[in-house]
Amino acid sequence: MSELLLDADEVVVDYPVKGFRKEPFRALKGVSLDIRPGETVGLVGESGSGKTTLGRAVLGLAPVTGGAIRYKGRDISRLGRKDRRALSSEIQVVFQDPYTSLNPSLTIEQILVEPLTVRKVPAKEASKRVRDLLDQVGLPASAAGRLPREFSGGQRQRIAIARALALEPRLIVCDEPVSALDLSTQARVLDLFKDIQDRTGVAYLFVSHDLAVVRHLSHRVAVMYHGEIVEWGSGDQVTAHPEHPYTQRLFLAAPVPDPDRQEQRRADRERLLAAHAEQNLQAGV
Ligand SMILES: Nc1ncnc2c1ncn2[C@@H]1O[C@H](COP(=O)(O)OP(=O)(O)OP(=O)(O)O)[C@@H](O)[C@H]1O
């Protein structure tokens, strides 16, 4: 696991803002992180901190105006369409909403065959691969002939994961892939992600606002705040010794199963917030 699969180096993303002479909005202010083969890097942070933007930059969907994103050593941050399409067999995505990410008029077989057809996989082989993909995500072969609306949210997310796996990618950007699901379904889908990684060695950039989800799955965790990474390290490191005040608040706010610890956390959090309020007061913020 020593060689880097992905290396984001001081990435800047500026979104254009409509209006005469309006300054662009800087959503990423020089973000650096790396992902090793087979590793899960969790990206956590509050809404608007830039998590999705970083995922989109990796996928070539956000305007990178500074820095570099290297995949296996090659800068992929400003590729043309053709080169980007060629990369889709290496880097894939699973979005948050399984209700909108699947074409409602296609059968599951058609959805899963599509990326294979683009790669000119022969029909017979593609059909066998569809059954294999369904099996990998725990769905029966009979699912192939049905439409997305016939499945539950968790099952649809399994189908979206199967589609992402079709071309055997080395990296999957998972953008809040379980946040639209209820808690018990979340746990099962997270287990599936883990299971697939154990079997295939795929790496994940796992975006979530939910610390418990990220901690469950990630080898390393990055915490984003206002377009910057403010914390970066192993899950244990970041959890045990959060350095940035935002991370401290985030961790103290995360639910824990033990009621005594929960109460201790609540008290710690209130103390911390009071201390920050006092600091701000003194600084005139
Ligand atoms: N296409 C866009 N044009 C202009 N600004 C954008 C665009 N997309 C995102 N932003 C802004 O960039 C900032 C970062 O957004 P981003 O979606 O990356 O955050 P996030 O941490 O993923 O939040 P959320 O969890 O709510 O999706 C936000 O202030 C957002 O309003």
pLDDT at 277: 53
Query: In this structure, is residue 133 part of a structural domain?
Result: yes
Alpha-helical (H) ranges within the chain are 51-58, 81-86, 108-118, 123-136, 153-165, 183-200, 211-217, 235-240, 245-253, 259-283
Query: In this structure, is residue 163 part of a structural domain?
Result: yes
Query: In this structure, is residue 55 part of a structural domain?
Result: yes
Q: How many domains does the chain fold into?
A: 1
Q: How far apart are CA 198 and CA 136, in angstroms?
A: 12
- Please give the distance, rounded to the nearest whole angstrom, from the Cα atom of residue 54 to the centre of ligand 1: 10
Q: Is the CB of 96 under 6 A from ligand 1?
A: no
**DSSP structure class, residue 228:** E
The percentage of the chain sitting over the pLDDT mark of 70, rounded to a whole number, equals 87
- Please give the distance, rounded to the nearest whole angstrom, from the Cα atom of residue 27 to the centre of ligand 1: 7
- For 72, the domain range is 6-232
Q: Which of 49, 208, 246 most suits a substitution to test ligand 1, by most atoms within 8 Å of the C-beta?
A: 49
Query: In this structure, is residue 272 part of a structural domain?
Result: no
Q: What sign does the dihedral 215-97-159-127 (CA atoms) show? A: negative
Condensed to tens digits (0 to 9), the pLDDT of residues 200-249 reads 999 999 999 888 888 889 999 999 999 999 999 988 888 778 888 888 87
CATH of the domain at 215: 3.40.50.300
Query: In this structure, is residue 128 part of a structural domain?
Result: yes
Query: In this structure, is residue 167 part of a structural domain?
Result: yes
ipTM value for the complex: 0.96
Most confident of 19-23, 96-100, 188-192: 188-192
Q: Which of 31, 51, 230, 246 most suits a substitution to test ligand 1, by most atoms within 8 Å of the C-beta?
A: 51
Query: In this structure, is residue 257 part of a structural domain?
Result: no
- Terminal CA-CA length for the chain: 45
pLDDT at 267: 63
- Please give the distance, rounded to the nearest whole angstrom, from the Cα atom of residue 45 to the centre of ligand 1: 12
Query: In this structure, is residue 277 part of a structural domain?
Result: no
Q: Whose CA is nearest to atom 2 of ligand 1?
A: 15
- Please give the distance, rounded to the nearest whole angstrom, from the Cα atom of residue 89 to the centre of ligand 1: 26
- Please give the distance, rounded to the nearest whole angstrom, from the Cα atom of residue 19 to the centre of ligand 1: 18
